[in-house]
Structures are given as C-alpha cells and as structure tokens.
Amino acid sequence: MLSGRSWVLGVSVKEVGEPFFGVNPRCGSSLDPPFYSATVADGDAALEAADAAFAEFSSLPGSRRAELLEAIACELEEGCDGLLERAHEETALSLDRLASERARACHQLRLYGAEVRGEAWRGLRQESAQPARRPVPCPDLRRMCVPLGPVVVFGASNFPLAYSVVGGDVASALAVGCPVVVKAHEAHPGTSEIAARAIIRAIARLGLPQGVFALLHGPGPTVGTALVKHPLTTAVAFTGSLPAGRALWDAAAARPVPIPVFAEMGSINPIFILPGAMRARPLEIAVGLAASVNGGCGQFCTKPGLVVVHESAGFDDFLAALAGETRRAPAGIALHAGIAAAFRQRTRDWLGREGVAEVARGCGSGQAQGAEVSSVLLRTDGETFVQNRGILDQENFGPVCLVVTVKAPEEMFRVARGLGGQLTATIHKEEGDREASRELTRILMRKAGRLIQNGFPTGVEVCGAMTHGGPYPATTDSRFTSVGTAALERFLRPVTFQNFLQEDLPEPLRDGHAHSGSSVSFSSL
C-alpha cells in the first residue's frame, strides 16, 4: 500500500499541508492515494541523517556497497509488486517498455557494483620519493579519489526507473559511498515510493545506516531548491529541462560554498546526411530516422530533432519516405499534460516562422483529452535555420523533426558550427563522402559527447566506454557522463598524501595493497 509520504531514516514522515495526486496522462484523472510535500524540517532531517551516515558508509569496503546495489536490484525484480503497473498508470509508458527499463536499472546497479569491487574507480596514482634528486628532492606522493558526501538526485520524468529513484545517478553515488536524498518527480510519485521502499528494504536487510537514503516529495522550485541550497549537500544530479537545470545550477553557484551540479538538459541531437549516403540508401535512412524520432513518443533525451541534408540525388525519395512514415505514426501519449502543451506550443512557434513549413503530420488530433500528441515533420532551408538560431535550434521534447536543406558542404559546416552543445551528433556517409565527413567530425567533436556514424542516437549502452553528456547546454559539465561506469567519477574528488608513513596512509595507497575490496576510513583522515 502506498503511503503518499516522504521517507527519511527508513520511515514515512508526517502528512502536512495540501495533498497532490499522481495523474493518468491518458485521461487526466487523479490517482490515489494523495501525496504530501516534504517540509523544510523533513529536508533538514534527511540531509542531517545522510551526513551522519557518510563516515560509516564511505568507509565500507567496495564489496559491501556492491552488495547493497545487488540487493536493490533483487528487490526491484522480486519484491516490488505493482511497480510496473503503477508506472504505466502514471506515465502511459507501455508495460513492455517499463519492463525493459527495469532490466536496465538492474543492469546498472549490478554493473556499478562490479566496478567498486575492484580499485580502478579510486584513481590510484603514486610518485615514489627521490630524496637524492637535484636541485630539489621529490617527495613521496600518493593520490586517490574519495567520495564527496551527501548527494541530491532529481528524478526524471521520461525514465521513471532508469533515471529516477533507482536510476544511474542514485546507483553511481551509492556505489562510491555517497548517501543520497532523492527529490521525487511529481509526475510519478507512486512509482517513486515503490522504488524507494525497495532501496529502504535492501538497506535494512544488510544492516546499513538508514540515513544512506531518503525520498522527498514536493515541487522542484521549493523542495528541490531548498535541498540544493542546504549546507550539507555536496553535489546535485539532475535530468530534465534546460530552464529547471539552469535554475538549480545557478542556485548551487550562489551558495556561500558552491557545489557541482551535474545536470543533463537534453539536446536536438543533429543528424547530417552527406550526398553519397543520400544516393545510396535514402529509404533505409528515412525508416530508421522515423523510428528514432517517434520512439517513446519522442521523449528520449537522444531523440534526433534536426536533420541536415544536401538537396542532391535521393533527397526527394528520402523526404517522401520520411513523410509517409510520419503520417503512419500513431498518436502517442506524452508523459504528462504539461509536456504535451509545451510540445504543441513550440511546434506552433516554429511553424509561425517565415520559411518553415509542415511536411506531414501523424495520426490523431494532437488536441485530445489528456496528453495526446501526434508526430510532426517540418522543413526549412539552411539560411532560415541560421537566421532563427535561438528558436529552431532548441529542443522540442516530443515526436517532431526539422529537416534543414543545404546546397553545398560549406553551408552544412556553417550549420554545424553554429550549434550549441549536444548529447549526440550523427553523420551518415559513404566512401565518396570521406572529406566532408572528416571536416564534420572535426566540427562536431567540439559540439557533442557522442558521435555516431551511419546509425541513430536513441539507445544508450550502459558500459565503460559510454559518454552521455556534452557541452552546455546539453549538460552543465561536459567532462563527465551520467551513463556507464565513468559516471562514478562525478561524485569523487582527488586527494594527494605527501610523505605519509605507511601506517597513516589509507590502505589502498599502502605498499603491497591487494587492490580488492579493502576498507578505508575517510572520516579519520
């Protein structure tokens, strides 16, 4: 049974204030039970408990925290009756999609657990002393990474499992020893509570401090901002819109002691189709592109929203095929009515610009009760796109794609150079496109965190080599990724120990350390 409350120290907190409800986006109806926003006192209690738990939790062997992550995965798979059904009600995502997302979340948890069973995440480095070196002796220097402290994580609307309460941000923070306070997304409060209780059960089963995790409900501008400003918060992870992410970043920077905000704020994920590729496989590219644009109702942060093409041989066939796929695309249900309304308004704004035309629209009215949206295909030319920067180059979260036509390679390069930071950028090429592809690659390496050749950006593999990040405004710090084992680096900082006696060093830095799951107490240093 759902309590409708926030959870601190393993128990639900008192109901205060006016309730709010989860909403079924298919029909707009409220879902029981009522939920209550956390108070300032609840936030204080959560972060004080997290700070108190930090010394013990961060001192555990990596293998012990791996056990926690694995226990959470088991709880998600075996102990969360009704999780997928509630998520389906709150988000309109299909049960198959949600089952896949749960599997992804469990994979992340186990992958990060395996990572901290080893030592690579600590970033161990050593420079041996050279007392005889002239003119200046070299001291003994040993460097390792240590956890930051309590981390605040904001749940994402489009991934109620893999990017929210049991998602990659939570998993990577817990993996390295950082307690977590989650600000649940208001669009799926019931899903958040079920997932949070899975973490709480896993913590209790392993006998770990309950302050390691807390869940707080409430609006981002009040509850969320207060958590970011709290003096015990040491880092923030966020996935969502640019305005919300920027507000959190600004709040963190304005603190007396600023802290890092790792915000992933989406992008338009441009696709560039070179002439050889257009001649060789216009239909294949069109079908793949349509699937990438419309998958998940266009609500993936890696959805390609911009396609830049030469008006060359094959283009007419490509555009006709893409228009046909768009018209056949069934209407979808946005995650909530606010997303649907923003999608419709931005699409109208684009169509209101001179030189932008609608090519095709999918099934459905786009104005039905609830949050129904239809796929839309738009077209413009390179000059119009360049003249409308700040409007046409902004993310439109939903199933829409803008095709920009150019007449020369330099015009394509100009469009690419003018883009802001992106999560991904894609190049479709054939053998004859080699020179243009190389120039595009040079340009796009400065623009995106992941470059794709002859493919599509939706689908983010969770592994060691993945980068899910990019220059601003895709993220607030392009040096890091929010997906894959390198995501752990966000919640660590380096410390160097100079001329320490062996017995005073953290164990991983001592001579002869076995480098496998040893304990180190950061709190005593």
Average pLDDT over residues 492-505: 97
Same domain, 256 and 300: no
Same domain, 388 and 246: no
Choice among 216-225, 321-330, 508-517 with the minimum mean pLDDT: 508-517
Same domain, 285 and 180: no
Q: Which of 393, 487, 240, 173 is nearest to 249 (CA)?
A: 240
CA angle 141, 142, 148 (to 5 degrees): 130
Per-residue pLDDT tens over the stretch 195-205: 999 999 999 99
374 C-beta neighbours (distance < 10 Å), count = 26
4: tokens are 């409708």
Is residue 151 assigned to a domain?
yes
Per-residue pLDDT tens over the stretch 99-156: 999 999 999 999 999 999 999 999 999 999 999 999 999 999 999 999 999 999 999 9
- CA dist., res. 400 & res. 377, Å (int): 6
Quote the distance between the C-alpha of residue 115 and its chain's center: 20
Q: Above 90 in pLDDT, residue 364?
A: no
Same domain, 489 and 383: no
Average pLDDT over residues 317-326: 98
| One-letter amino acid for residue 166 of the chain | V
The residues, any chain, with a CB within 8 Å of residue 312's CB and separated by 6 or more, are 275, 278, 279
114: tokens are 């395996």
Average pLDDT over residues 426-441: 97
Q: Are 270 and 435 in contact (CB under 8 A)?
A: no
Is residue 458 assigned to a domain?
no
Domain count, the chain: 2
Q: Which domain holds residue 400?
A: 271-453
Same domain, 395 and 317: yes
Q: Are 169 and 198 in contact (CB under 8 A)?
A: no
Cite the active site residues: 264, 301
Whole-number pLDDT of residue 514: 55
Is residue 521 assigned to a domain?
no
Query: Strand pairing partners for 181?
Result: 152, 214
Using CA atoms, how far residue 162 sits from 105, 156, 421, 488, in Å, is: 5, 9, 24, 16
Q: What is the CATH number of the domain that holds 89?
A: 3.40.605.10
Same domain, 204 and 275: no
| One-letter amino acid for residue 241 of the chain | S
Single pTM value for the model: 0.94
279: helix, strand or coil: helix
Per-residue pLDDT tens over the stretch 18-55: 999 999 999 999 999 999 999 999 999 999 999 999 99
Q: Above 80 in pLDDT, residue 369?
A: no
Which backbone phi and psi does 136 adopt, to 5 degrees?
Answer: -125, 125
Q: Which of 403, 499, 513, 401 is nearest to 458 (CA)?
A: 401
244: helix, strand or coil: helix
Whole-number pLDDT of residue 266: 82
Is residue 470 assigned to a domain?
no
Q: Above 80 in pLDDT, residue 367?
A: no
- CA dist., res. 473 & res. 118, Å (int): 34
Is residue 210 assigned to a domain?
yes
Could you say which of 414, 435, 453 is where a domain stops?
Answer: 453
The mean predicted confidence, pLDDT, of the chain is 95
Which backbone phi and psi does 229 adopt, to 5 degrees?
Answer: -80, -10
Same domain, 374 and 250: no
Same domain, 339 and 321: yes
Q: What is the CATH number of the domain that holds 447?
A: 3.40.309.10
Same domain, 305 and 162: no
- CA dist., res. 25 & res. 343, Å (int): 15
Same domain, 22 and 123: yes
Whole-number pLDDT of residue 519: 39
Is residue 512 assigned to a domain?
no
Same domain, 332 and 438: yes
Is residue 516 assigned to a domain?
no
DSSP structural state of residue 332: E
Same domain, 49 and 95: yes
Alpha helices by DSSP H, 313-468: 315-328, 337-351, 382-387, 409-417, 434-444
